[in-house]
């Protein structure tokens, strides 16, 4: 029975609420309301909507205990209660976005009822449920009080472009936006950098691109479709495009859960990681990649089998050395088609994936050589298995096996990292028990498997094992052993007997120890033994090499405002039979030891928290060899004192003033050169937010 | 379709395996054949707020023979840390920088300077931009936007 009642008096003799059950004493009965206005989840344009609710059981409510909150603000004094209906008319505009209404009350006996709460949204614009645009302009103006290098003379031939500028103006505008209406969402995430440098004399301004980089990602989504334009990330297949982060666009249709089909089309281009590239478009000088993928899951359990087909076409799939990738195979035109499967069984405990890919490519479209074509394939099986209990703790193992073959003339226009003319397999297993992790693996690969007679065919095998312990509050050691064997099973005469055979063995021990937030320590040491199997003659260079290395570092926070992190590394390279040229010009084989010390220090000190900061980073390195071919020392550092002045200069955003000094010294005893540079800079940093 | 073994095929093998000269001379020599430097976003550039923690760059390196690579990570010309790692023939060696300094707003350049072996090509330089917005403020702003 439901009665509508006024809060002041019960009018219809409604049934008294039933006595709460003992179990319910811990969980209060909910306050029953009906006809909430605005309805829960409703989208409104009205900034001052009438907020109302009707009590379902007024007799069970003590009207004196009634409270109403809007976004946590108590508005009970402005609430009207008539005939069991609570109404509240906001006296001012409510904020855009999601608003929360909460009504609380207690029963007649003073027993608190569980409050009722609901939410609705107030739109900013009529067309969109949510809309926002915000920007942050970060600007740094740097003035050299003392430049670290003397300006080269006009006749020296040294470019002034390489010199430190007198003034440096660097800016980054970050813009983020969002539009949302129901299932439709559009997002913008972008950064635009503008750098300008000012130099004296012949070239008052830099000739570098001032707009350093503009990157952006615009995403439009309406389930099941996703379209992205800008700096996209594409992952399709292994030989195809396992991980592409490039400028471009892609469209995805994902109906995998409904009908077991997913479609993906993409078009990208290179040359976006550095340089000025604010627009999207296909230009002659750029490497272009266009492709599409289809994924079909034929069974109701989508994970049992997924079939994957991919086709990509590339144009000028090369990247110039020095852009972001140095030294890769290039091609004028290429195409790749691949087919693959992926399956997961036993709730994901066993996974199998396969892929076969066919490629065609033409290194030079203008010559008479036709396209080269070849294939590659790969299969991977991995599984997780519990091996039982040992001393009341489970032992689990994760094992993976992979076989791959890549043909001599296989080139993927979408994956320049694929190594052609290679076949082999690898196995890896990780077994964990309590604090112990044991990893081991074996791999064997054969390179130059084609019938090219000018190169030796190489078989490389690797054994690897690592044992790690992670005891609580104690040092965590990891010991690694690795043995790599390289042998040829065909050698051209020019390579001589055992021309490329060798064994490399690595022993490595690392220990890390965290002592709360104030101290963490790490130490490591390794020995790498290179055993050259060649017959070393007077005309051969090389021989056995032993490399010793140790490294130690710690992070210390003696005060809450001070952090110090020194690090030291020592390397000794012991070459047993190195070719040495004597002062007389004669060449002999001799044992040569080269030692290198590298030390770094990072210090962060908040002199006045949030206001005055001191940051120091310094490093030094020294290398010397027993044959006197190397003997140099390098010291460098930067120290920066930053005064966060808030809005001191003008009442907008944040400003900071900094004084920075750079130090760099290089002493080369072999070349008889000693370069000493010190620079001092005054810097103004500005942060200007723009929110719409 | 496979074409007969001819000069272009030989040239491709050379491109793969050779650092500077012909294939016969190069396979036995320890040489770097490929260098790719990236930030965690998979690109050669990234923008981070001031005092962003644990920013690192990664290098994917490939060599034409077995040996121990010795190199130095440098930021704006300063030494950040050494790299001493054994390599495997034709397999990628992935190395990471120590934590990159993010206490200076503005543009910073990261590169890997090789001591041994010396590359026959220009090693890439990648850049990161540190904004003047403090990381804690940035985190709060992002949470608010979400």
Give the model confidence (pLDDT) of A5-62 as tens digits.
333 333 333 344 444 444 445 678 888 888 889 988 888 888 889 999 998 888 888 8
Residue B96 forms contact with A (CB below 8 Å): no
Residue B5 contacts A, CB cutoff 8 Å: yes
Probe site for chain A from B19, B29, B38, B43 (most A CB atoms < 10 A): B43
Question: What torsion do the CA atoms of B89, B94, B98, B100 make, to the nearest 10 degrees?
Answer: 130
CB spacing of B24 vs A451 below 8 angstroms: no
Chain B hits for A636, Cβ within 8 Å: 77-79
Q: B3 to chain A: which residues are within 8 Å by CB?
A: 369-370, 372, 409
Distances (CA, A) of A312 to A185, A358, A654: 29, 11, 48
CB-based contact (8 Å) between B94 and chain A?
no
Percent of the residues in chain A that have a pLDDT greater than 70, as a whole number: 83
Q: What is the pLDDT of residue A633?
A: 96
Q: Which two tokens stand for residue A318?
A: 């090369």
Q: Tell me which chain A residues have a C-beta less than 8 angstroms from the C-beta of B82.
A: 569, 571, 596, 598, 621
d(CA A472, CA A476): 9
CB-CB contact of A122 with A45 (8 Å): yes
State how far the Cα of B144 lies from the Cα of A143, in Å rounded to an integer: 36
pLDDT level of residue B1 (50, 70, 90 thresholds): very low
Q: B93 — contact with chain A (CB < 8 Å)?
A: no
Helix/strand/coil for A654 = strand
In 3D, which of A225, A119, A130, A134 has the Cα closest to residue A176? A134
Interface test with B, best of A193, A214, A248, A327 (most B CBs within 10 A): A327
- The pLDDT confidence band at residue A273, using thresholds 50, 70 and 90, is very low
Q: Cβ contact (<8 Å) for B36 and A325?
A: yes
Cα–Cα distance for residue pair A605/A556, rounded to 1 Å: 12
Where are chain A's structural domains? 22-122
CB of A235 within 8 Å of a chain B CB? The answer is no
Q: What is the 3-state secondary structure (H, E, C) of A205-246?
A: ECCCCCCCEEEEEEEEEECCEEEEEEEEEEEECCCCEEEEEE
Closest residue in A to B20 (Cα–Cα) = A327
Predicted pLDDT at A26: 60
How high does pLDDT run on average in chain A?
84
pLDDT tops 60 at residue A323:
no
Q: Does residue A365 register a pLDDT over 50? A: yes
Other CB atoms within a 10 A radius of the CB of residue B140 amount to 11
Confidence band, pLDDT 50/70/90 cuts, at residue A152: low
Here the ipTM equals 0.82
pLDDT score, position B36: 84
Which helix (H) or strand (E) element contains residue A36?
A: strand A33-37
Chain A: give the shortest CA distance to residue B35, in Å. 5
Cα torsion A236, A238, A243, A246 to 10°: value is -70
Q: B29-145, what's its fold?
A: Immunoglobulin-like (2.60.40)
Going from N- to C-terminal start, the domains of chain B cover 29-145
B10 touches chain A (CB under 8 A): yes
Residue B142, H or E segment: helix B135-145
The answer on pLDDT for A671 being more than 80 is: yes
Whether chain A has a CB inside 8 Å of the CB on B115: the answer is yes
- Shortest Cα–Cα distance, B96 to chain A (Å): 15
Owner of token pair 């707003």: B105
Yes or no: say if A358 and A372 are a contact pair by the CB < 8 Å rule: no
pLDDT digits (tens, 9 = 90+) for A411-452: 887 777 788 889 999 999 999 999 999 999 999 999 887 767
pLDDT for A414 equals: 78
Question: A398: pLDDT confidence band, cut at 50, 70 and 90?
Answer: very high
Find which of A273, A552, A638 to mutate to test the B interface (most B CBs within 10 Å of its CB).
A273
Provide the chain A residues 636-665 that lie in CB contact (below 8 A) with chain B.
Answer: 636-638, 640, 642, 654, 656, 660, 664
Mean pLDDT, residues A81-88 taken together = 87
CA nearest neighbour of A68 among A135, A7, A156, A20: A7
Phi and psi at A300, nearest 5°, equal -60, -40
- Quote the pTM value: 0.81
Q: Give the mutation candidate from B84, B93, B112 for the A interface (greatest A CB count, under 10 A).
A: B84
User: Which residues of chain B have a CB within 8 Å of the CB of A447?
Assistant: 89-90
- CATH 1.10.10.60 assigned to domain A22-122? The reply is no
């Amino acid at each position: 029975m439901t009665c509508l009642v006024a809060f002041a008096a019960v009018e219809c003799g409604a049934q008294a609420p039933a006595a709460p059950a003992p179990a319910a004493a811990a969980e209060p009965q909910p306050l029953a309301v009906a006809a909430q206005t605005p309805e829960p989840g409703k989208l409104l344009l009205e900034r001052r909507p009438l907020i109302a609710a009707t009590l379902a059981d007024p007799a069970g409510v003590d009207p004196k205990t009634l409270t109403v909150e809007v976004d946590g603000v108590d508005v009970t004094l402005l609430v009207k209660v008539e005939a069991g209906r609570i109404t509240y008319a906001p006296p001012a505009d409510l904020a855009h976005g999601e608003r929360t209404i909460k009504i609380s009350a207690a029963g007649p006996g003073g027993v608190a009822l569980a409050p009722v709460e609901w939410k609705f949204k107030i739109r900013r614009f009529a067309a969109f449920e949510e809309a926002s645009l915000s920007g942050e302009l970060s600007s740094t103006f740097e003035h050299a009080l003392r430049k670290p290098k003397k300006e080269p003379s006009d006749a020296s031939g040294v470019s002034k472009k390489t010199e430190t500028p007198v003034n440096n103006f660097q800016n980054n505008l970050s813009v983020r936006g969002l539009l949302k209406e129901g299932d439709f969402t559009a997002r913008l995430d972008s950064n635009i950098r503008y750098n300008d440098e000012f130099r004296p004399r012949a070239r008052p301004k830099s000739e570098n691109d001032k707009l350093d980089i503009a990157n952006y990602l615009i995403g439009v989504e309406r389930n099941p479709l996703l379209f992205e334009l800008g700096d996209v990330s594409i992952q399709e297949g292994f030989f195809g495009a396992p991980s592409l982060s490039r400028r471009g666009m892609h469209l995805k249709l994902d109906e995998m859960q409904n009908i077991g089909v997913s479609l993906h089309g993409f078009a990208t281009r290179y040359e976006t990681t550095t340089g000025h590239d604010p627009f999207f478009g296909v230009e002659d000088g750029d490497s272009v990649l266009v492709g599409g993928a289809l994924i079909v899951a034929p069974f109701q359990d989508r994970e049992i089998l997924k079939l994957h087909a991919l086709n990509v076409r590339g144009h000028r799939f090369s990247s110039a050395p020095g852009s972001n990738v140095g030294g890769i195979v290039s091609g004028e035109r290429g195409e790749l088609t691949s087919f693959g499967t992926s399956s997961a069984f036993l709730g994901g405990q066993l996974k199998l994936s396969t892929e076969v890919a066919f490629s065609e490519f033409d290194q030079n479209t203008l010559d008479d050589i036709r396209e080269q074509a070849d294939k590659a394939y790969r299969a991977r099986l991995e599984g997780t298995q519990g091996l039982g209990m040992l001393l009341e703790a489970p032992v689990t193992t994760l094992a993976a096996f992979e076989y791959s073959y890549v043909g001599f003339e296989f080139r993927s226009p979408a994956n320049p990292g694929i190594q052609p003319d290679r076949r082999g397999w690898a196995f890896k297993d990780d077994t964990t028990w309590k604090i112990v992790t044991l990893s081991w693996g074996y791999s064997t690969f054969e390179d130059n498997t084609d019938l090219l007679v000018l190169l030796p065919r190489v078989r490389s095998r690797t054994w690897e094992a690592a044992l790690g312990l992670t005891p609580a509050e104690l040092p965590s050691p990891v010991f690694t052993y690795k043995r790599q064997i390289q042998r040829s099973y065909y050698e051209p005469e020019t390579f001589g007997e055992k021309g490329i055979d060798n064994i490399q063995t690595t022993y490595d021990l690392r220990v890390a120890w965290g002592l709360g937030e104030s101290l963490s320590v790490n130490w490591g040491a390794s020995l790498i033994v290179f055993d050259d199997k060649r017959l070393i003659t007077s005309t051969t260079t090389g021989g056995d090499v032993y490399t010793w290395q140790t490294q130690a570092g710690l992070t210390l926070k003696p005060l809450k405002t001070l952090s110090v992190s020194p690090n030291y590394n020592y390397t000794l390279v012991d070459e047993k039979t190195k070719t040495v040229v004597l002062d007389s010009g004669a060449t002999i084989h001799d044992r040569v030891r080269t030692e290198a010390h590298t030390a770094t220090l990072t210090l962060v000190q908040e002199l006045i928290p949030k206001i005055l900061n001191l940051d120091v980073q310094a490093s030094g390195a020294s290398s010397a060899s027993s044959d006197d071919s190397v003997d140099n020392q390098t010291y460098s550092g930067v120290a920066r004192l930053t005064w966060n002045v808030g809005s001191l200069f003008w009442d907008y955003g944040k400003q900071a003033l900094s004084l920075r000094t750079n130090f760099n010294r290089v002493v080369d005893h072999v070349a008889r050169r000693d370069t000493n540079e010190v620079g001092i800079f005054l810097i103004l940093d500005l942060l200007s937010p723009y929110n719409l | 379709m496979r074409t007969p073994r001819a000069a272009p095929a030989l040239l491709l093998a050379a491109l793969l395996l050779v650092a500077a000269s012909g294939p016969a001379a190069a396979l036995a020599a320890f040489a770097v054949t490929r260098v790719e430097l990236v930030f965690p976003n998979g690109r050669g550039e990234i923008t981070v707020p001031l005092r962003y923690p644990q920013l690192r760059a990664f290098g994917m390196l490939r060599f034409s023979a077995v040996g121990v690579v010795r190199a130095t990570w440098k930021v704006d010309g300063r030494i950040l840390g050494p790299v001493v790692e054994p390599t495997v023939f034709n397999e990628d060696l992935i190395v990471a920088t120590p934590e990159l300094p993010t206490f200076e707003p503005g543009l910073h350049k990261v590169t890997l300077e090789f001591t041994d072996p010396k590359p026959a090509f220009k090693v890439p330089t990648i850049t990161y931009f540190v904004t003047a917005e403090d990381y804690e403020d940035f985190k709060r702003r992002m949470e608010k936007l979400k």
